[in-house]
Amino acid sequence: MTKSDRDLPSNVYKLWNRYYIAQTRNGEKKVYGRYDTREEAIRVRDQLIAEGVLVRPGEHCKTCHPDRYIHRKSDGCFHILKWWRGRLEYFGVFRSLEDAREERDFLESIGWDYSNMD
């Protein structure tokens, strides 16, 4: 399975003239079906996401990468960086990894938009 057809959504792959729905969880790739048309594969993929069978794109990162968006710099500080609205944004500098994780979790809870704070 390859992503040679870059206009395909996540979890949909093309191999020769067939389309596959697959996802890797805990290091194992699971194939959820093979389809003759692109449209059918995308329709079934959307249905699997709605049913909770497939993890939404990006959601798997929350469990696989505890330090996602956090980068340690040479000065020992931890920076939160994320591509946001078409550019690389800095969301803060922290002295401890725990503080950076706490802020990152808060930012994820408000959709990375400070105007969403209660």
Phi-psi region of 32 (alpha: psi -120 to 50; beta: other; left: phi over 0): alpha
What are the pLDDT digits (tens) for 19-28?
999 987 766 7
Q: Using CB atoms within 10 A of its CB, is residue 80 exposed (0-12), middle (13-18) or buried (19+)?
A: buried
Percent of the chain scored above 90 by pLDDT?
Answer: 42
Q: What is the pTM of this model?
A: 0.50
pLDDT at 9 exceeding the cut of 80: yes
Question: What is the gyration radius of the CA atoms in the chain, in angstroms?
Answer: 18
SS3 61: helix
Give me the domains of the chain, ranges plus CATH numbers: 12-60 (no CATH), 65-116 (3.30.730)
Average per-residue pLDDT for the chain: 84
